[in-house]
Amino acid sequence: MKFKFTLSALVLAVMLLAYLGSLIPSSSRKEGFQTFASCHGGGFSKEFCLQNPAMPGQCLCQNGAVGSFQPGFNGQCVCH
């Protein structure tokens, strides 16, 4: 019995391979950044990097530096 190569068989094979490839986790698909400096250095604005912080609790000081929210400061940004 000889397999007959058809366009529909080729399309199905490609779709199956694409589906199976999407099931394999890939570290190259990782998004995000490790630090504020790497986010801002990557061309993102300070506001974006603080709204999507690498470390929760970061905030923007009035001088443009990165501060943090700490207990006992009534939700104010503590600048170092």
State pLDDT tens for residues 1-59.
566 678 887 788 888 888 877 777 654 444 556 677 777 788 888 888 777 766 677 78
Q: Which of 33, 65, 68 is nearest to 52 (CA)?
A: 33
Number of H helices, E strands in the chain: 3, 3
Q: Specify whether the CB–CB gap between 56 and 62 falls below 8 A.
A: no
User: Is the overall model pTM greater than 0.85, yes or no?
Assistant: no
> Given this model, what pLDDT does residue 28 score?
46
Question: What is residue 32's predicted lDDT score, i.e. its pLDDT?
Answer: 57
Determine the 3-state secondary structure of 75 from DSSP.
coil
Q: What is the pLDDT of residue 29?
A: 44
